[in-house]
């Protein structure tokens, strides 16, 4: 149930987030599920980067919105520290990778079953969703302001969405990320993050 709820929140947040241009700072106008604005601060777009190959095609970005390509300190159902983040093009977040992993350095294998899952690990345009099957994430560094690491693995089709020709599996290789922890109070509240 938590997985479906979080997936709905992530989809809603991406749909409501309008990010255009690649300016040094932007304002976000986000509405929560109750219809009230989420107060957000100016956001830098030059302090984050990720890259990988999805089925051999490069997928990368070098910016952050304070939500996309930014990490959050969260807790799982057992109150254990987690790190949650989405990797996407800030100008077109319809394709994204989503991760929730233990909040420590080291390797975590995320599989399509509890206790390790990352919602719908990969979402492509048209809301085609894929689950981790498995994906390995290696956190190489965590500081108070940043998290860096690598990832690779395979995703299995969960929902064809608007694409009847969606591939059954997609491989992710050469994944790496260097992203800040979000300082945006609105997004931190939205995700119940610390």
Q: Give the single-character DSSP code of 105.
A: S
Report d(CA 69, CA 88) in Å as an integer: 7
16 CA to centre of own chain: 15
Show the tokens assigned to 73: 């300190």
Cα 68 off chain centre by:
6
Task: State the distance between the two ends of the chain, measured CA to CA, in whole angstroms.
Answer: 22
Q: What is the pLDDT along the chain (194 residues), one digit of tens a residue?
A: 344 334 444 444 444 343 333 333 333 444 444 444 444 443 444 589 999 999 999 999 999 999 999 999 998 777 889 999 999 999 999 999 999 999 999 999 988 754 444 456 889 888 899 988 999 999 999 999 999 999 999 999 988 888 889 999 999 999 999 999 999 999 999 988 98
For 138, what's the count of Cα atoms within 13 Å in the CB-facing half-sphere? 9
Is residue 85 within 8 A of residue 13, CB to CB? The reply is no
pTM of the model: 0.76
């Amino acid at each position: 149930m938590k997985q479906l709820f979080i997936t709905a929140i992530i989809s809603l947040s991406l749909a409501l987030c309008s990010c255009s241009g690649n300016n040094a700072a932007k304002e976000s106008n986000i509405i929560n599920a109750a219809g009230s604005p989420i107060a957000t601060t100016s956001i830098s777009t030059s302090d984050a980067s990720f890259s990988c190959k999805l089925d051999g095609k490069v997928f990368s970005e070098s910016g952050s919105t304070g939500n996309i390509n930014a990490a959050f300190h969260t807790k799982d159902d057992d109150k254990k520290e987690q790190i949650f983040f989405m990797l996407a093009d800030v100008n077109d977040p319809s394709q994204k990778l989503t991760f929730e992993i233990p909040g420590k350095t080291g390797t975590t294998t995320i599989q399509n079953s509890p206790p390790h899952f990352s919602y719908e690990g990969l979402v492509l345009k048209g809301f085609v969703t894929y689950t981790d099957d498995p994906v390995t994430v290696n956190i190489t560094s965590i500081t108070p302001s940043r998290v860096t690491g690598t990832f690779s693995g395979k995703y299995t089709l969960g929902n064809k969405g608007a694409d009847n020709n969606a591939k059954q599996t997609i491989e992710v290789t050469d994944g790496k990320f260097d992203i800040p922890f979000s300082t945006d109070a609105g997004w931190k509240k939205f995700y119940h993050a610390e």
